[in-house]
Amino acid sequence: MKPSSPFTILASVATVLSFFSNIGVEAATGVDASSLITTEQWACAKETGYENAIIRGYIEAWGQNPGGAVDKNVVENYKNAIAGGYTSVDLYIFPCTGRDTCKPPADQVQDVINLIDENTMDIGTLWLDVEVDPEADNFPSAEGARTALQEFKKALDNSGEKWGVYASKVQWTSITGSVDWELDSSVPLWYPHYDDVMSFDDFESFGGWTTPTIKVKYYQNGLLIMIT
């Protein structure tokens, strides 16, 4: 199998991630899937060296009442990833916020926990995706955003699962109203900066985080490249 095969196979259905250890020991790679990927495709990526999988587990579904729903592909994606040879699998949550029709944060997190339990999933980290969706107007006020995020934190803390946050400094400041507002800087941070540099030297502290865990490095040819 040619090394370029995963790029050809996965570009239209997944994000290919490049990971780099935050202690500088070794590089690792992974695939971030937001659409359905077959077992063959997962296996191809694994054989080419993409060791980690991050799968979308929850979506806003803001047009529904109630809003917030388990991703329709998450169970099959997880099973296919495991069958394809993956042992390290994370899930990310794109929550429904900013609308009265959204499920309460505790219910959204419980949806994910039920998903994990009912399907006997072995999940490494749950990532809470904190970013603006202009179409949904998901964070209309800083006060509302802070309240919602604190409720998600409480639910995630009570879940028993390891969790982290995906956010950028700019969006964090815009959403919460302050670059310094802290949700929980003890959990891992995944942040984007498209500079094509394999280090965290560019990182600027926000939200109490001084050391990130994952970085989006660049976007090229339909692929989102990251380091950790």
Positions annotated as catalytic residues are 32, 129, 131
* Helices (runs of H) and strands (runs of E) counted in the chain: 6, 10
Integer Cα distance of 10 and 72 in angstroms: 18
Residue 215: name the closest of 195, 193, 184, 186 by CA: 193
User: 55 Cβ partners below 8 Å, 6+ apart?
Assistant: 32, 33, 71, 74, 77, 78, 81, 89, 90, 91, 92
Integer Cα distance of 69 and 161 in angstroms: 19
